[in-house]
Amino acid sequence: MYWTVRNILPVIATALLISIVLFTPASADTGEVMLPSGGSHSWPIALDSESLLSYRVEADGGNVDIYLMISDDYEHFKLGEKYTYIADGSFENVPSASAELALMPGTYRLVAVVEAASEGLVMRETRLTFDIDAEARSETDALKTIMVLGVLTIFALVAIIALDLLYLRRKDYRD
């Protein structure tokens, strides 16, 4: 029995690795951007299903306001009109920000606004580095289920091998 189980272990391990690769979300956006004092930059985030959004934005040498908003509010923001933002995913006057939150399907914008230079100061550029990931909740749940089943299968196979080895040793000891 040990030899039969041992031969299928690589197949099970390969299946688990393939499932992890298939369900691993791709980064929505990663990189850096240069913004002048008082400037802003936005990243569109389109979600087809309930998703987990996580992001990290860092300003090199200054503070920044980060606003997560739906696209309609972004249009108001661009026009200088009153807008609303999602408080759980927004930060004001911070050198860096990161958040992780569940969002419903829709189109969102993550907006970074660099503080304007004070009067009499020279305008300068601020480098923003960012990493934005969005993964569907169903994919996350499916990956967790696959991982739990894989771990349980591996533990079961290890237990079977251990019992089989004990049985073989007892048999050899009796003989």
* pLDDT, position 20: 57
* pLDDT, position 148: 77
What percent of the chain has a predicted confidence (pLDDT) above 70?
75
The fold for domain 27-135 equals Jelly Rolls (2.60.120)
Q: List pLDDT tens digits, range 120-170.
A: 566 678 899 999 988 876 655 666 777 777 778 877 877 887 788 788 777
* pLDDT, position 26: 44
pTM for this predicted structure: 0.63
Q: Mean pLDDT over residues 27-50, rounded?
A: 85
* pLDDT, position 116: 75
Q: Mean pLDDT over residues 71-91, rounded?
A: 94
**Is 156 exposed, middle or buried, given 0-12, 13-18 or 19+ CB atoms closer than 10 A?**
exposed
Distance, CA of 146 to chain centre: 18
* Strand-strand pairing, 125-136 and 51-60: antiparallel
Q: Mean pLDDT over residues 46-55, rounded?
A: 89
